[in-house]
Structure 1
Amino acid sequence: MDVDSVLLQPADSNGDIDSLIMGFLALGINHQTASVAFREKVAFAPEHLADALQSIQQLASVNEVAILSTCNRTEIYCEITSDHEQSLLDWWADYQQLAPADIAGASYQYWDESAIQHMMRVASGLDSMVLGEPQILGQLKAAYVQAQEAGTVGSSLSRWFESTFATAKQVRSQTAIGESPVSVAYAAVALARQIFGDISQSQALLIGAGETIELVARHLSEAGIAGLTIANRTLANAELLANQFTQASSASLSNLPDLLPYADIVIASTASQLPVLGKGAVERALKLRKHRPIFMVDIAVPRDIEPQVGSLADVYLYTVDDLREVIEENLKNRQTAAVEAENLVLNGSAAFMSRMRELTAVEVLKQFRTKAELLSQEELAKARKKLANGADPEQVLARFAKAVTNKLLHGPSVQIKQAGAAGQLERVEWAKQLFELDQLTDKKS
């Protein structure tokens, strides 16, 4: 087989070499670009994530893909053919049954080094509603694991994620970005304390048993809450969490109507696709409470509490978007640390891209070596044939050496001549460095 036919296989049936140019893309929608209502529509339910990942990977332009979907952001990270993000936007709109223009209008995209920087900023909490919040790193790690389980990540995204985690670890260990207890969970508790003042006489009902609710329970316990009830669809998980706090008890979601009348504070964060608390149930609870107010925070996306509950006179209902002001009050001591963290992200992304470029160079070297070996093998076979036919060994060896030299240098020679004719002298100088011709000149002198 001809050597060039081995090394220059077409990218597809049309021989489109441009399709070989792959890039890193981070495509997303977050709390800065869309309302909680729209973020609900674009979010991926955990049980549908594997299907979504595999569906994306079937796109001709996508090589590897992972999805991060939280209450504040949904982001798709992938290795994709350069400038083919529109195919991904169209897929997203079709999958979620939304208008492509709506997705495009609320989304942002970062390519290559900017994409690397973005993921590192996300993992370090620099792009969060709560600056420096630590939960996002765990969520990003979970997204990576889910993509691995779905079989949609390979070496490229694995390097991206692992480098991101290493940089985020540096940010946590070398800056004060995470020293203050600031998070959505902390902000919810801080707002409850502002409304009630002393919460040592208050009862809290927490709906869900995930990481966010665990943080809420911890903050409430530290703030001196009188009592905690943790209600969850899976009672065993609620019991497991409640056992961590002396003043806590557990219950099933089916008991919510009976629990609501005793709750001064209700904070919800489940993975349910439908509200678990409706206006009717809250109205009944208010009557039994003789209209003593209830403070509610819905941290979930999609929402756990029907928005109409907020219209009730004796209910103070807040969503994650409403927590911004509370959060901002607790960010001042993180600003200097954020600057230091940004520098670490820039260094981390630059180092990652340098490694990727080095890997590209290594791949070129492998291809060059393969070509040289194939050329050598072709000429060696010819030489052996001539020797078997009784040709002079000295002449065979001389012709073998000359043939290998000529074939190996033919391509570079053509390129150097063309560069010189086109006035591209920097390429000619690069060729001199590449072949170490200055050293040859020095030896002659």
Structure 2
Amino acid sequence: MTFLALGVNHHTASVELREQIAFNPERLNTVFSETRQHPELADMVVVSTCNRTEIYALTKNTDDVLHWMAQCNGIDVNTLLRHVYHYENVDAMTHLMRVASGLDSLMLGEPQILGQIKNALILAKDAEVVSPHLNRLFEYAFYAAKKVRSETAVGAHAISMGYAVAQLSTQVFSHVSQMTVLIVAAGEMNTLVAKHLAEMGVAKMIICNRTRSKAEHLAQELATRVEVEVIDFDQLENNLYRADVVSSCTGSLHQVISYSAVKRAVKQRKYQPMLMVDLAVPRDIDAKVDDLDSVYLYGVDDLQAVIDDNLSQRRQAALDAEILVSQLASQFVINEKVQRAGHDIQQYRDFAEHQRQKELQLALQQLQQGVDPAELLERLSQRLTNKMLHIPSKLFREAARAEQPEHAQWLNETIQDIHDNMRKTKAR
């Protein structure tokens, strides 16, 4: 069986094509129920995100998987061929490890992809289209991703505005679980900020937006992870003092948070630290706020400089991660060989036991018929030795004929081991 990785991603296909090939969980459940009827397609995991759709499968015919992908999505195979990438066995395993580690992501080192792959595996296992062997390959990829995360800094530095704000909060406040965050405007940028901070486990989120329904919609998204309160926009300045972190991104042409309002809030807070992040252009927060003691003000340019530096550090860390993945792929190959060898050894042991039982029964019958025991033991030992040596002798001859360095080396080392064991036996 070939381990296959086949797919398209943001490097190889347009958004339009990726949308056409994408699978949602409901559709996958239907598709998997159909593939179970086809043994050649009954061992696969489908990873489908906004940036990629990939099929990982154990199959005897890789073309079957390609045609299945085209047929499921109503795409001509030749059209699909211009955009898909195709990896087999150790190359497929290396690719899966790179994807799970965030090394193949649009945002280098992003952690979400690992969770998405785990969910894809769970979905396929629930649909009963994952064999123990395929499951083991994915578990090894998860192990590799964990090592990349723990032993390199590829995911340690913020490279998005939303994540940068969240990371900045941890630098100003030591107890994230006690923080109250005020989100001023519920647009795309602040939505990301709010979600990152909610995932970090802040105590409370206050959302303020000119259109209350939009603020309530974001509040519903966050409510399962954090306590959320929605306030009207005209109550913004009166509630500033409640916030440890303020993130503002309104798109207004005029400042919405004045110096005097922040100064009043600082006094109400008894000069406890306050982090204010202005993601708007033009700016939402009066720049003079930066002069106030205990207030930390960051603008877009400040954060972008941090992100640029962090991205450079991630790229450097990615080199270390790629080396680690390469080493883990080599280890994977060794593990596979050892496992196959263990299976082969067990088969040979079973064969040897069968031959032993067979010869023993024959010898007992002959013994009952009055055959001389000494003669019987001689014949028994000869027959058993010949049968046990037949398969190793055949392998030795094939290795010698192959004329490949690794086979020749294995042959020489094996013969040397045999001679050494013979000398030790004689010495006893």
TM-score, reference length from structure 2: 0.66
- Kindly indicate whether residue 157 of structure 2 is the aligned counterpart of residue 180 of structure 1: yes
Contact 1:68-1:75 within 8 A present in 2 as well: yes
| Structure 1 residue 30, shift from structure 2 partner | 0.7
Q: Aligned runs of 1:176-255 on 2, under 5 Å?
A: 176-182=153-159, 203-204=185-186, 214-215=195-196, 226-227=208-209, 229=215, 231=217, 238=221, 240-241=223-224, 243-247=226-230
From 416, 419, 422, give the equivalent of 1:438: 419
Q: From the superposition, tell whether residues 345 and 58 of structure 1 become closer, same or farther in structure 2 (CA, over 3 Å).
A: farther
Identical-residue share of aligned pairs (%): 36
1:231 aligned counterpart, secondary structure: helix
| Structure 1 residue 188, shift from structure 2 partner | 13
Q: Which runs of 5+ in 1 are unaligned?
A: 1-21, 190-199, 250-262, 266-294, 296-326
Q: From the superposition, tell whether residues 349 and 414 of structure 1 become closer, same or farther in structure 2 (CA, over 3 Å).
A: closer
Q: From the superposition, tell whether residues 244 and 88 of structure 1 become closer, same or farther in structure 2 (CA, over 3 Å).
A: same
Q: How far apart, in 2, do the equivalents of 1:79 and 1:53 lie?
A: 15
1:170 counterpart residue number = 147
Q: Aligned runs of 1:416-431 on 2, under 5 Å?
A: 416=396, 430-431=410-411
Q: From the superposition, tell whether residues 378 and 118 of structure 1 become closer, same or farther in structure 2 (CA, over 3 Å).
A: same
- Kindly indicate whether residue 330 of structure 2 is the aligned counterpart of residue 350 of structure 1: yes
Higher relative contact order (CA 8 A, sep 6+): 1
| Structure 1 residue 169, shift from structure 2 partner | 1.3
2:3 aligned counterpart, secondary structure: strand
From 51, 68, 77, give the equivalent of 2:47: 68
Q: How far apart, in 2, do the equivalents of 1:411 and 1:114 lie?
A: 32
Q: From the superposition, tell whether residues 131 and 224 of structure 1 become closer, same or farther in structure 2 (CA, over 3 Å).
A: farther
1:410 counterpart residue number = 390
For residues 189-237 of structure 1, the C-alpha deviation after alignment (integer angstroms, 9 at most, x for no partner) is 9xxxxxxxxxx9963257xx9x998349779x999974362539xx9x6
Q: How far apart, in 1, do the equivalents of 2:64 and 2:161 lie?
A: 34
CA RMSD of aligned residues (A): 4.0
Q: How far apart, in 2, do the equivalents of 1:410 and 1:170 lie?
A: 45
Paired amino acid for 1:92: M
1:303 counterpart residue number = none
Q: How far apart, in 1, do the equivalents of 2:347 and 2:231 lie?
A: 64
Q: From the superposition, tell whether residues 421 and 174 of structure 1 become closer, same or farther in structure 2 (CA, over 3 Å).
A: closer
| Structure 1 residue 91, shift from structure 2 partner | 0.7
Q: How far apart, in 2, do the equivalents of 1:72 and 1:422 lie?
A: 46
- Kindly indicate whether residue 105 of structure 2 is the aligned counterpart of residue 137 of structure 1: no
Q: From the superposition, tell whether residues 388 and 360 of structure 1 become closer, same or farther in structure 2 (CA, over 3 Å).
A: same
Paired amino acid for 2:374: E
- Kindly indicate whether residue 70 of structure 2 is the aligned counterpart of residue 93 of structure 1: yes
Q: Aligned runs of 1:313-332 on 2, under 5 Å?
A: 331-332=311-312
- Kindly indicate whether residue 90 of structure 2 is the aligned counterpart of residue 113 of structure 1: yes
| Structure 1 residue 438, shift from structure 2 partner | 3.1
Q: Greater CA deviation, 51-60 or 390-399?
A: 51-60
For residues 359-379 of structure 1, the C-alpha deviation after alignment (integer angstroms, 9 at most, x for no partner) is 011111111111111111221
Q: How far apart, in 2, do the equivalents of 1:424 and 1:167 lie?
A: 32
Q: How far apart, in 2, do the equivalents of 1:212 and 1:74 lie?
A: 27
Q: Which runs of 5+ in 2 are unaligned?
A: 167-181, 233-248, 252-280, 282-306
2:79 counterpart residue number = 102
For residues 144-170 of structure 1, the C-alpha deviation after alignment (integer angstroms, 9 at most, x for no partner) is 211221222222222221111122112
TM-score, reference length from structure 1: 0.64
| Structure 1 residue 75, shift from structure 2 partner | 0.8
Q: How far apart, in 2, do the equivalents of 1:239 and 1:423 lie?
A: 66
Number of corresponding residues: 335
For residues 117-136 of structure 1, the C-alpha deviation after alignment (integer angstroms, 9 at most, x for no partner) is 11111111110000011111
Paired amino acid for 1:408: M
Paired amino acid for 2:114: L
